[in-house]
């Protein structure tokens, strides 16, 4: 068991190394482009470019360049963004991360609970009006663009109905840290959570329903019913657990990607300065050190989320444990 | 043997196939599963060799080794005198045309989006067996051969029943005019009444086209019906091989005897049931018993059986049996 | 048989089942009647689409009520059970009537241990502690002949061989001492030597516990080996019935002849060709109005297009126009002369 865990950990580190090397090569070792000039940004003075070349060691061999880059990113954490007038990159990511994590974690709880509830209810009432209604709602959730839905929510809660009892508690846009103002943190995030989760509840509910309907064709469900078990027990003890595998797989991918910055639109609509926004700005300005940092951050969460998914597989399905 | 006796179509000597299971990145990890171990087998032109055994006996793996669908771990394999044990895919190309496989579930190998005409026509075109102009006629002939109406050429696989799909699978195998057909459980998924039709079809085709078959099945009655010779496998080894009628009438290996006796069948009134119930189950091929592989379940095993692995020995009537106690072994079993 | 007749346990009368499909209503079971007495083994023989499994599922009330229309009556121990609310049927299912499924690979939930799944059934019907149910599960596994029952109870289905899994399925079915076991192709997925072991086990259970067994199968060999009485189903109807001995000695229906002739013999001379039944069984959509077998029957007459008459003798019946006087010569065309045909 410990050996398997250690193996898995080593695998994760190896993957991270691979990603960092690949990103480094793409951005800093592309033939025909001077990385120092790129880091300096557009219209930079020749002296700045020369200083950067010295500083990053671009006149030295590639492995040394890579090592120095990683050292500045992870060890000394003083990698600087020249586009943004010498701002240090790592602290910016560290300050943006809690915003994104808060947003995505909260939404994830909502969409997992909501997705399971919708899927189970629809499967139990298959082909009835409840099932059809839920599936239409889910389809609406899937089809609503998040920026549009977010803006509508803002319009309702921030201006149109802000003075009614319904939305008077909603604070202005922006993020309030959990550590200093827990109540404010919660209030500012409730609407973003629902907005982001709406899409995923729709997708997850539909997928889970399809898997459950398929599971109900299985022999072991017939066995469970022939044992004289009630419908709830058949659902929760026999059908649901075996149907959760695709659900968990999707969750791992979506969660990793969202934490990594894919919640950009939600962040923008609700004025949350998260990693998505940071990455977006870095791309706009071609801010290479910042891009490197956010990509490493994102890949870290994708890798961790995938490891967690594997762990949940093991908990869900004994057949996976053999490996 | 006379001088005119042609060489065997298939000749396997010491054929082994080992799979490595549970392998990880660590070197030397994983365990060896000897699916087929040290098998000697001849398939003569025009005969039907039945390959029987229970799940885990290695009969399917052996079939796939004979057609070189699987690479062979060790041993010799000759097809029509040509060594193909280590042949690469280029060298195998002419052999591939002459040897065809038919599987249990034909629908898995029939592209659901293509008409029968295209499925069969493609095979003809790829192997350039007939000039393009003759392909249409040939397709009709093939349908006649397997007993399907020519109009069915324009249907899709899902429009057919299981038995008809298996006929299409057979037609596709016949399209390249092979010498040898290795059929792996070709009738197991069919209903009894349809199964009998397909069994008859196999017999008709052999007579009309002079085919040679290796017929793999777990159903001993079906194998008796179609085969001229039969090989019984247990845990990756052949335990008995010989003339079908002789083996079924008087099995000489204790496993063959138990296997045949276990088949439920109608009995005349008052006829006693002579069933030999084997204890336990087939041991894991990852950890086969020492000595004779059947010794852990054999009702007549002696100490020697548990220590020394028997090899196939010729018996007076021409069959071969891998048992230290043969041919007397099965007499004591009643 | 010399033993006095045991009481009727299950009585099925005029059972018809149809399904709503995209192409309209199709009939899967058409006016089926039979009964099972305590301690007897009744085989229902048929190919796929014959309606044998649908019949069974209707008895257990396991068909989807939204798409299934069931007609007729099913009486268990004198009490009508067809159409009972699910709540009441649940008290019978698994306790009085237990199911043994065909494929032990898929009949057990993959994510729970064998012991857990058996204990779950016991606890669904009896007030017993968790530990008590777990102990009973181990006892049951020993009962069905698993070598190391305590260890097996802690294993997941995929960790057991096919034969061990089927024993576990049987142990589960036995857990509440059911009066009736319904076994749906219980040995089809098993190797012959394991099949022999499982059939032996079923015979022993009948002897030790007096359970009645309805055995659904397509294998005439299995029927001959274990059944007391046989119902042959084709295209949704029981086309022939009788005691096993009589039915094999003197089959009446051309379909039964074809079924027997389709099985290659294991001894004696091999026929050059098997006397296979031509064509294929009808699907519910293509079911003929009269005799379901007529399109494949070489003896079919114009009047076979109407519902066939019932031929009867004590303990026997068949749904066919062929009367007693024509039977033997026609049968000989397919099966050859039968030794002691009456």
Please report, for the domain that includes residue C279, its CATH number.
3.40.50.300
Q: For residues B220 and C270, what is the distance between their CA atoms, to the nearest angstrom?
A: 13
Is residue A291 domain-shared with residue A179, that is, in the same domain?
A: yes
| Domain contains B297 | yes
| Domain contains B74 | no
Q: For residues A23 and B210, what is the distance between their CA atoms, to the nearest angstrom?
A: 64
| Domain contains B325 | yes
Is residue A66 domain-shared with residue A143, that is, in the same domain?
A: no
Is residue A18 domain-shared with residue A64, that is, in the same domain?
A: yes
Residue with tokens 């001894």: C267
| Domain contains C70 | yes
Residue with tokens 């029987």: B52
pLDDT tens digits for range A61-90: 888 888 888 888 888 887 777 766 677 888
Looking at residue A313, its pLDDT comes to 87
User: Between B and C, how many residue pairs show a Cβ–Cβ distance under 8 A?
Assistant: 122
CB C97 within 8 A of CB C176: no
Q: Does residue A302 come out as left (phi exceeding 0), alpha (psi in the -120 to 50 range) or beta?
A: alpha
Is residue A142 domain-shared with residue A289, that is, in the same domain?
A: yes
Strands B180-184 and B99-102: what pairing?
parallel
* Residue C29 DSSP SS3: strand
- Determine the average pLDDT of the residues in A199-226: 93
Distance from C94 to chain A by nearest Cα, in Å? 4
Measured between CB atoms, which of C191, C259, C275 is closest to B218? Answer: C191
For residue A111, which of A263, A215, A1, A315 has the smallest C-alpha distance? A263
Is residue A6 domain-shared with residue A143, that is, in the same domain?
A: no
Q: Residue B73 carries which DSSP code?
A: S
* Residue C70 DSSP SS3: strand
The answer to whether residue A315 neighbours chain C at the CB level (below 8 Å) is no
| Domain contains C1 | no
What is the total count of domains within chain C? 2
Identify the bridge partners of residue C319 per DSSP, sorted by sequence position.
Answer: C310
Chain A residues with beta carbon closer than 8 angstroms to that of B23: none
Looking at residue A182, its pLDDT comes to 87
- Edge-to-edge order in the sheet of strand C316-319: C97-100, C180-184, C212-217, C41-45, C229-234, C237-243, C316-319, C310-313
Looking at residue C341, its pLDDT comes to 39
CB A292 within 8 A of CB A27: yes
Name the closest residue on chain A to residue B24, using Cα atoms: A323
H or E element that contains C218: none
CB B41 within 8 A of CB B15: yes
Residue with tokens 């899937």: A142
> Under an 8 A CB cutoff, do C110 and A227 touch?
no
Is residue C165 domain-shared with residue C36, that is, in the same domain?
A: no
Looking at residue C1, its pLDDT comes to 45
- What is the span of the domain harbouring residue C299? 7-96+178-337
**Residue ranges in C43-85 assigned as alpha helix (H):** 52-60
- What is the span of the domain harbouring residue B286? 250-265+273-334
Is residue A215 domain-shared with residue A309, that is, in the same domain?
A: yes
Higher pLDDT, B159 or C180: C180
Is residue A72 domain-shared with residue A185, that is, in the same domain?
A: no
* Residue B12 DSSP SS3: strand
Looking at residue B27, its pLDDT comes to 66
Is residue C170 domain-shared with residue C198, that is, in the same domain?
A: no
CB C248 within 8 A of CB C254: no
> Interhelix angle for A2-28 vs A62-70, to 10°?
120
Is residue A148 domain-shared with residue A261, that is, in the same domain?
A: yes
> Under an 8 A CB cutoff, do B218 and C192 touch?
yes
pLDDT tens digits for range B290-328: 899 999 999 999 999 999 999 999 999 999 999 999 888
Q: For residues A285 and B84, what is the distance between their CA atoms, to the nearest angstrom?
A: 63
Distance from A304 to chain B by nearest Cα, in Å? 21
For C143, the token pair is 């009962």
> Under an 8 A CB cutoff, do B54 and C248 touch?
no
C-alpha separations of A185 from A55, A171, A203, C7 in Å: 41, 10, 27, 73
Is residue C225 domain-shared with residue C159, that is, in the same domain?
A: no
* Residue C320 DSSP SS3: coil
Q: For residues A183 and B318, what is the distance between their CA atoms, to the nearest angstrom?
A: 91
Is residue A52 domain-shared with residue A128, that is, in the same domain?
A: no
Q: What is the dihedral of CA B87, B92, B96, B98, to 10 degrees?
A: -90
- Determine the average pLDDT of the residues in B117-138: 84
| Domain contains A251 | yes
* Residue C307 DSSP SS3: coil
| Domain contains B211 | no
- Determine the average pLDDT of the residues in B265-276: 70
Chain A residues with beta carbon closer than 8 angstroms to that of B25: 7
pLDDT at A195 over 50: yes
pLDDT at A277 over 80: yes
| Domain contains B317 | yes
A-facing residues of C in 52-111 (CB < 8 A) are: 60, 62, 66, 86, 90-95, 98-99, 101-103, 106-111
B-facing residues of A in 28-67 (CB < 8 A) are: none
For residue A209, which of A124, A141, A140 has the smallest C-alpha distance? A124
- Edge-to-edge order in the sheet of strand B229-234: B99-102, B180-184, B212-217, B48-52, B229-234, B237-243, B320-321, B313-314
Is residue C255 domain-shared with residue C190, that is, in the same domain?
A: yes
Q: Residue C93 carries which DSSP code?
A: B
The answer to whether residue A7 neighbours chain B at the CB level (below 8 Å) is yes
Distance from C189 to chain A by nearest Cα, in Å? 14
Chain C residues with beta carbon closer than 8 angstroms to that of A318: 110-111, 156, 158
In chain B the first and final C-alpha atoms are separated, in Å, by 36
Chain A residues with beta carbon closer than 8 angstroms to that of B22: 323
Q: Residue C260 carries which DSSP code?
A: H
Looking at residue B268, its pLDDT comes to 63
Chains in contact with B, counting 3 or more C-beta pairs less than 8 Å apart as contact: A, C
Is residue A162 domain-shared with residue A304, that is, in the same domain?
A: yes
> Under an 8 A CB cutoff, do A228 and C93 touch?
yes
Is residue C124 domain-shared with residue C63, that is, in the same domain?
A: no
Is residue A153 domain-shared with residue A227, that is, in the same domain?
A: yes
pLDDT tens digits for range A111-145: 999 999 999 999 998 888 999 999 999 999 888 88
**Residue ranges in C175-219 assigned as alpha helix (H):** 192-209
Which CATH number goes with the domain that contains A263?
1.10.3720.10
- Determine the average pLDDT of the residues in B119-127: 85
Q: Of C129, C157, C177, at which residue does a domain stop?
A: C177
C289: buried, middle or exposed (CB in 10 Å: 19+, 13-18, 0-12)? exposed
pLDDT tens digits for range B187-226: 888 888 888 999 999 999 999 999 999 999 999 999 999 9
Q: Of A76, A101, A131, at which residue does a domain stop?
A: A76
What is the total count of domains within chain A? 2
What phi and psi values does residue B214 have, to the nearest 5 degrees? Answer: -110, 115
| Domain contains B107 | no
Residues in CB range of B216: below 8 A, 6 or more apart: B50, B51, B52, B59, B60, B63, B182, B183, B184, B185
| Domain contains B323 | yes
What is the total count of domains within chain B? 1
If you compute the radius of gyration of chain A from its CA atoms, what whole number of angstroms results? 24
Looking at residue A112, its pLDDT comes to 95
Looking at residue A84, its pLDDT comes to 64
Name the closest residue on chain B to residue C256, using Cα atoms: B193
User: Between A and C, how many residue pairs show a Cβ–Cβ distance under 8 A?
Assistant: 76
For A75, the token pair is 């060890």
Distance from A16 to chain B by nearest Cα, in Å? 18
- Provide the pLDDT confidence category of residue A177 given band limits of 50, 70 and 90: confident
- What is the span of the domain harbouring residue A148? 91-321
CB B268 within 8 A of CB B325: no
What is the residue-averaged pLDDT of chain B? 88
Chain B residues with beta carbon closer than 8 angstroms to that of A10: none
Name the closest residue on chain C to residue B265, using Cα atoms: C221
Q: Residue B107 carries which DSSP code?
A: G
Name the closest residue on chain C to residue B198, using Cα atoms: C276
Identify the bridge partners of residue A87 per DSSP, sorted by sequence position.
Answer: A81
What phi and psi values does residue C12 have, to the nearest 5 degrees? Answer: -110, 125
Name the closest residue on chain A to residue B25, using Cα atoms: A7
Looking at residue C2, its pLDDT comes to 43
Chains in contact with C, counting 3 or more C-beta pairs less than 8 Å apart as contact: A, B
C-alpha separations of C10 from B205, C22, C214, C288 in Å: 49, 34, 10, 30
CB A153 within 8 A of CB A193: no
What phi and psi values does residue B3 have, to the nearest 5 degrees? Answer: -70, -30
Q: What is the dihedral of CA B288, B293, B294, B295, to 10 degrees?
A: -90
- C interface test, pick of B104, B196, B279 with most C CB neighbours within 10 Å: B196
Is residue C77 domain-shared with residue C131, that is, in the same domain?
A: no
Looking at residue B116, its pLDDT comes to 92
Looking at residue B250, its pLDDT comes to 92
pLDDT at B147 over 60: yes
Chain B residues with beta carbon closer than 8 angstroms to that of C273: 200, 203
Name the closest residue on chain C to residue A322, using Cα atoms: C159
Q: For residues A268 and C63, what is the distance between their CA atoms, to the nearest angstrom?
A: 52
| Domain contains C2 | no
pLDDT at B1 over 50: no
Chain C residues with beta carbon closer than 8 angstroms to that of A222: 62, 99, 101, 107
Q: Of C124, C159, C177, at which residue does a domain stop?
A: C177
The answer to whether residue A164 neighbours chain B at the CB level (below 8 Å) is no
Q: Of C177, C198, C231, at which residue does a domain stop?
A: C177
For residue B31, which of C110, A322, A317, C158 has the smallest C-alpha distance? A322
Name the closest residue on chain B to residue A11, using Cα atoms: B25
Is residue C183 domain-shared with residue C236, that is, in the same domain?
A: yes
Q: Of A25, A41, A76, at which residue does a domain stop?
A: A76
Q: For residues B306 and B48, what is the distance between their CA atoms, to the nearest angstrom?
A: 34
Q: Of A17, A47, A76, at which residue does a domain stop?
A: A76
> Under an 8 A CB cutoff, do C93 and A226 touch?
yes
| Domain contains C238 | yes
B128-135 contacts at long range (C-beta below 8 A, 24 or more positions apart) = B129/B175, B129/B176, B129/B177
> Under an 8 A CB cutoff, do B221 and C194 touch?
no
Looking at residue B270, its pLDDT comes to 63
pLDDT at B257 over 60: yes
SS3 per-residue string spanning chain A: CHHHHHHHHHHHHHHHHHHHHHHHHHHHCCCCCCHHHHHHCCCCCHHHHHHHHHHHCCCCCHHHHHHHHHHHHHHCCCCEECCCCCEEHHHHHHHHHHHHHHHHHHHHHHHHHHHHHHHHHHHHCCCCHHHHHHHHHHHHHHHCCHHHHHHHHHHHHHHHCCCCCCCCCCCCCCCCCCCCCHHHHHHHHHHHHHHHHHHHHHHHHHHHHHHHHHHCCCHHHHHHHHCCCCHHHHHHHHHHHHHHHHHHHHHHHHHHHHHHHHCHHHHHHCCCCCHHHHHHHHHHCCCHHHHHHHHHHHHHHHHHHHHHHHHHHHHHCHHHHCC
In chain A the first and final C-alpha atoms are separated, in Å, by 10
| Domain contains C134 | yes
Measured between CB atoms, which of C163, C221, C340 is closest to B281? Answer: C163
Is residue C236 domain-shared with residue C295, that is, in the same domain?
A: yes
Chain B residues with beta carbon closer than 8 angstroms to that of C259: 192-193
Strands A80-81 and B320-321: what pairing?
unpaired
Higher pLDDT, C3 or A221: A221
For residue B251, which of B140, B146, B150, B334 has the smallest C-alpha distance? B334
Is residue C169 domain-shared with residue C186, that is, in the same domain?
A: no
- Determine the average pLDDT of the residues in A298-305: 88
Q: For residues A142 and B244, what is the distance between their CA atoms, to the nearest angstrom?
A: 65
Residues in CB range of C196: below 8 A, 6 or more apart: B262, B264, B275, B277, B278
- Determine the average pLDDT of the residues in B9-25: 86
Is residue A142 domain-shared with residue A18, that is, in the same domain?
A: no
Listed as ranges, residues in chain C with pLDDT below 70 are 1-4, 338-342
> Under an 8 A CB cutoff, do A225 and C66 touch?
no
SS3 per-residue string spanning A197-221: HHHHHHHHHHHHHHHHHHHCCCHHH
| Domain contains C275 | yes
| Domain contains B178 | no
Interface of B with C (CB under 8 A): 54-55, 161, 163-164, 191-197, 199-200, 203, 218, 220-222, 224-225, 245, 248-249, 258-260, 262-269, 273, 275, 277-278, 280-282
Residues in CB range of B104: below 8 A, 6 or more apart: B184, B185, B186, B188, B189
Looking at residue A322, its pLDDT comes to 67
* Residue C215 DSSP SS3: strand
């Amino acid at each position: 068991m410990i050996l398997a865990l250690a193996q898995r950990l080593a695998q994760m580190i190896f993957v991270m190394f691979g990603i960092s090397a690949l990103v480094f090569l793409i951005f800093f070792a592309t033939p025909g482009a001077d990385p120092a000039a790129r880091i300096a940004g557009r219209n930079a003075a020749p002296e700045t470019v020369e200083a950067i070349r010295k500083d990053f060691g671009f006149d030295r061999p590639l492995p040394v360049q890579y090592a120095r880059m990683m050292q500045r990113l992870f060890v000394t954490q003083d990698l600087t963004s020249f586009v943004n007038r010498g701002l240090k990159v790592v602290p910016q990511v560290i300050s943006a991360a809690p915003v994104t994590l808060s947003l995505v974690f909260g939404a994830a709880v909502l969409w997992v609970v909501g997705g399971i509830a919708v899927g189970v209810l629809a499967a139990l009432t298959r082909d009835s009006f409840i099932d059809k209604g839920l599936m239409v709602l889910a389809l609406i959730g899937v089809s609503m663009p998040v920026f549009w839905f977010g803006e509508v929510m803002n319009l309702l809660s921030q201006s149109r109905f802000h003075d009614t009892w319904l939305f008077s508690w909603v604070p202005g846009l922006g993020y309030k840290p959990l550590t200093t103002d827990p109540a404010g943190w919660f209030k500012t995030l409730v609407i973003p959570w629902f907005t982001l989760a709406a899409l995923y509840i729709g997708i997850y509910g539909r997928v889970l329903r399809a898997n459950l309907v398929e599971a109900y064709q299985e022999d072991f469900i017939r066995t469970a019913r022939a044992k004289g078990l009630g419908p709830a027990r058949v659902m929760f003890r026999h059908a649901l657990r075996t149907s959760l595998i695709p659900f968990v797989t999707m969750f791992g991918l979506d969660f990793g990607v969202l934490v990594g910055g894919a919640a950009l639109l939600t962040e923008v609509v609700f004025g949350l300065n998260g990693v998505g926004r940071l990455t977006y700005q870095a791309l706009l300005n071609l801010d290479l050190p910042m891009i490197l940092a956010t990509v490493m951050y994102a890949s870290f969460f994708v890798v961790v989320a995938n490891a967690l998914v594997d762990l949940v597989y093991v908990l869900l399905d004994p057949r996976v444990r053999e490996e | 043997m006379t001088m005119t006796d042609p060489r065997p179509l298939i000749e396997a000597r010491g054929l082994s196939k080992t799979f490595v299971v549970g392998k990880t990145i660590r070197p030397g990890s994983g365990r060896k599963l000897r699916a087929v171990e040290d098998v000697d087998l001849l398939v003569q032109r025009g005969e039907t060799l039945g390959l029987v055994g229970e799940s885990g006996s290695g009969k399917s793996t052996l079939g796939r080794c004979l057609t070189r669908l699987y690479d062979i771990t060790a041993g010799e394999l000759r097809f029509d005198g040509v060594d193909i044990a280590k042949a690469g895919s280029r060298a195998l190309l002419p052999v591939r045309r002459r040897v065809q496989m038919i599987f249990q579930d034909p629908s898995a190998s029939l592209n659901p989006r293509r008409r029968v005409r295209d499925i069969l026509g493609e095979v003809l075109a790829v192997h350039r067996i007939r000039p393009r102009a003759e392909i249409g006629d040939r397709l009709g002939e093939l349908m006649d051969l397997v007993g399907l109406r020519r109009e069915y050429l324009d249907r899709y696989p899902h429009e057919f029943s299981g038995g008809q799909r298996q006929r299409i699978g057979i037609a596709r195998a016949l399209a390249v005019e092979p010498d040898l057909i290795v059929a792996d459980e070709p009738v197991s998924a069919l209903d009894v009444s349809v199964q009998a039709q397909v069994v008859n079809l196999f017999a008709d085709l052999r007579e009309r086209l002079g085919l040679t078959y290796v017929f793999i099945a777990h159903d001993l009655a079906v194998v008796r019906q179609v085969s001229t010779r039969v090989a019984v496998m247990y845990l990756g080894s052949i335990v008995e091989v010989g003339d079908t009628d002789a083996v079924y009438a008087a099995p000489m290996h204790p496993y063959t005897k138990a296997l045949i006796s276990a088949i439920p069948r109608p009995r005349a009134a008052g006829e006693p049931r002579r069933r030999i119930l084997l204890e336990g189950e087939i041991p894991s091929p990852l950890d086969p018993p020492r000595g004779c592989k059947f010794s852990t379940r054999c009702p007549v095993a002696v100490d020697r059986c548990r220590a020394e692995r028997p090899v196939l020995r010729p018996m007076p009537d021409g069959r071969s049996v891998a048992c230290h106690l043969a041919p007397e072994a099965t007499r004591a079993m009643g | 048989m010399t033993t006095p007749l045991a009481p009727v346990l299950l009585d099925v009368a005029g059972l018809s089942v149809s399904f709503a499909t995209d192409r309209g209503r199709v009939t899967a079971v058409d006016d089926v009647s039979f009964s099972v007495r305590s301690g007897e083994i009744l085989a229902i023989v048929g190919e796929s689409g014959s309606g044998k499994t649908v019949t069974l599922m209707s008895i257990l009330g396991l068909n989807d009520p939204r798409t299934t229309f069931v007609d007729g009556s099913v009486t268990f121990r004198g009490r009508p059970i067809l159409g009972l609310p699910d709540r009441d049927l649940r008290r019978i299912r698994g306790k009085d009537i237990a199911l043994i499924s065909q494929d032990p690979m898929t009949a057990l939930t993959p994510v729970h241990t064998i012991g857990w799944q058996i204990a779950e059934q016991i606890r669904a019907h009896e007030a017993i502690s968790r530990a008590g149910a777990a102990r009973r599960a181990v006892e049951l596994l020993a009962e069905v002949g698993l070598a190391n029952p305590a260890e097996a109870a802690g294993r997941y289905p995929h960790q057991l061989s096919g034969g061990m899994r089927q024993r576990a399925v049987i142990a589960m079915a036995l857990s509440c001492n059911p009066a009736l076991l319904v076994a749906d192709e219980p040995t089809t997925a098993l190797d012959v030597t394991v099949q022999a072991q499982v059939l032996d086990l079923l015979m022993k259970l009948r002897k030790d516990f007096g359970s009645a067994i309805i055995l659904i199968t397509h294998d005439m060999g299995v029927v001959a080996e274990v059944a007391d009485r046989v119902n042959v189903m084709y295209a949704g109807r029981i086309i022939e019935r009788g005691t096993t001995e009589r039915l094999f000695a003197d089959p009446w229906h051309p379909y039964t002849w074809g079924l027997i002739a389709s099985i290659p013999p294991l001894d004696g001379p091999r026929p050059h060709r098997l006397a296979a039944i031509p064509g294929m069984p009808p699907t519910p959509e293509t079911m003929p109005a009269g005799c379901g077998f007529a399109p494949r029957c070489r003896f079919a007459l114009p009047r076979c297009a109407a519902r066939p008459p019932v031929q009867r003798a004590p303990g026997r019946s068949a749904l066919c126009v062929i009367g007693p006087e024509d039977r033997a010569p026609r049968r000989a065309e397919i099966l050859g002369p039968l030794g002691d045909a009456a």
